[in-house]
Each structure stands twice: as structure tokens, then as C-alpha cells.
Amino acid sequence: MADKTPKSSRNGAGDPIDFGGPVCPVPLQDYPNVILGHGGGGKLSAELVEHVFLPAFKNDHLDVLRDSAVIQLTGQRLAMSTDSYVVRPLFFPGGSIGDLAINGTVNDLAMSGAKPLYLSAAFIIEEGFPIAELKRIADAMGAAARHAGVTVITGDTKVVEQGHGDGCYINTAGVGVVPDGIDIAPNNARPGDVVIVSGTLGDHGMAIMSVREGLEFDAKIQSDSAPLADMVAAITEVCPDVHVLRDPTRGGLAASLNEIAASSDCGIVIEETRLPIHPIVQSACEILGFDPLLVANEGKLVCMVPAAFAGAVLNAIQADKHGSNAAIIGHVVAEHPGVVVAKTVIGASRVVVTAIGEQLPRIC
């Protein structure tokens, strides 16, 4: 019988070492799938970081591989945010859970007027998940981070037993710097403010739903997943007195407007005829019985600014590559505080309510 002991396990005298049990695991590249050992904090974990995550996020901070990242501060105001992503399916038209996890936290930071700078990335991976798909996700995250101008500087990996997860979950957290003089918050809406949305509504939710239901349309519905920090910087440049910014993700525009109306103790009136909705998304919503106002977006924002700045802000948004379909959709009023009202196509009015639960679970 041939000697199967690895050469590296021989002692200095050239005699094979008796391990008395299983020998060392094979290198990472010999594992086509994630195993529990990849989350054990040992060599396999290190190899997963070395071969999958480090190449995707390459930077000086992450290369140090400390338990936490140390950032030099200069007394500026910082914004920090975190979110977890459990979208199903992991890959969908226009994006994946990877770029969604980056763009989502970038946008959460941008909605306070901050310039996003640094992110963390934590993975919860189910045993048996293909390494090739994990690398595809990591590569998408790396590309999205570079596109958004942020750096992933720390992270974590856990592996759960097969059947105790759903492939891959991701958590990202981020910090950014808020420029002096910027004060943007949901409770800052004032009567007379103009309400602007940056583009078509419901694209992300319907892209996910079309995949789940196997629906096909004349043109494929694409997710709108995108970073919005550059757009926010352009808005604050032409209007330093921006009152409210919000990205209408889960719960859609309806949830965001109702939260703003409640926290500002103001009413909001929108015009249904002004709502930018892609015709295919509109058709999909009608087929499935969804209200586009309640469907999630992942690359849109709603802002409220003094009327005197409305034109300049709209032009700034439309000049951004993600804002060509921006539109003024309504205004803030002193009447019916806490209530959002939509003027319908036939001239009637209806109250826009927030959905009791999520229309679509696992949407982001």
C-alpha cells in the first residue's frame, strides 16, 4: 500500500508522524462548498478571508486584519448605520444581495447628508453554500463599494449548519462624515415644502417578485439598486437647507411619507398623476394586486425642500445618472397633520396608508 501521509507531516528524521486521527484539512481551493470549518476561526476561516474576501475588498485597512478598524478622526460629525440583508433570491435582474448590502448602507448614511466613508461586512453562510456563488457575491460587493466611493475595512464570517439558514445573509454597517451646516431629519418637514422623488417607483420590489413568480414581460424589470451619495451631495450643494431625505425601501414611498408626516406633525399631499412609475412595473402591480406606492425601492430617494429651491434641486437630481426620471409629486401642508393624502386621476382624494405588514417578505 502506498504511503498517503503528506510530506509536510514528516519529522526531521524523515519518519512519518502519527497524528492518531484525521490529518489537516485540504487547502481551500479543494473545497467546492463552504463547510462548518470555514466559520471556526481557524485556518479554513483565514483561507476564506485570504482567497475570497481580501481580493474583493483589497485595501490597507483590511489588510491589517485586526478585530476592529481604527479610524483617524478630526472632530467632525460622523454618521453610522447598519442593516442586514436576507433577500431571496440572492441574484435578481439588476443586482444581487452583494451590491444591495453595500448600496443600502451607503444610502442610509447619505440620507442624513453624510458622505459615506467606511463599511463593515458580516456574513452568515449556510453549510454547503457554493464557494463560487460566495465569491460572486463578494465580487459584486467590492465593485459596488468602489462605485460608491466607500471602503470595506472590517468584517466577520459565521457558518451555520445546513438547513439552518438560506444560503447567505449579510450585515453591513457604515460611518460617514456630515458636513457642517447640514441638518436633515424626518421631523424637519415644514408646510410649504415641495416633495420630490428621484425616479420611478416600485422597480426593485417588482423585479424580485417577477423572478419568484416566474413572470415574463415584454421587457425585463430591473432592480433600481444604486448608491445615492453623489446625488445627495449635488442636492445639498444647490440647497444647503434640505429638510428631509429618505430612501423609500421596505414599505415603499407610502411608508416613508407617513413616517415623515407623523414625525413632523404635518400633512402631505401628493398628485397621483405626477408619480413616476414605469409602465411595466405598473402592469405587474395590477396583475399581482400591489399598490406601487407600497412596493420597495433600493435606488430612489424622496426629499422635502423649501419651495424656493424646488427647481434647482429637481435639476440637480435629474443631472445625476440615477435621477433622470425625478419629479415633483406634491407638497407639505399644515392641514391633517400626520396624514398623507393622494389626489387621484379623477380629482378625488384618498388617504395613503402604510401597509400593516410587508407586501413582499425577504425583499432586501
Q: What is the pTM of this model?
A: 0.86
| pLDDT at residue 313, rounded to an integer | 98
Which long-range contacts does 54-59 make (Cβ < 8 Å, 24+ apart)? 56/135, 56/138, 56/139, 56/141, 56/142, 57/121, 57/138, 57/141, 57/142, 57/145, 57/151, 57/152, 57/155, 58/142, 59/151, 59/152, 59/153
Query: Cell numbers at residue 124, please?
Result: 452568515
Give the whole-angstrom CA distance, residue 131 versus residue 34: 6
Which among 172, 132, 142 is positioned nearest to 155, based on CA atoms?
Answer: 172
pLDDT at residue 311 in the model: 98
> Residue 11 has what pLDDT?
38
Residue 134: Cβ within 10 Å count: 23
* Sign, Cα dihedral of 114, 116, 118, 121: positive
- Tell me: cis bond preceding 292? Omega within 30 of 0 counts: no
Domains of the chain (ranges, CATH numbers): 66-178 (3.30.1330.10), 193-351 (3.90.650.10)
- pLDDT at residue 8, rounded to an integer: 38
∠ CA 205-87-168 to the nearest 5 degrees?
A: 165
Question: How do 340-343 and 267-271 pair as beta strands?
Answer: parallel
The C-alpha cell at 339 is: 396624514
pLDDT along the chain (364 residues), means of 10: 37 41 50 85 83 92 77 82 94 96 97 96 97 97 98 95 94 95 93 98 93 77 96 97 94 93 96 96 89 94 97 98 97 97 94 80 85
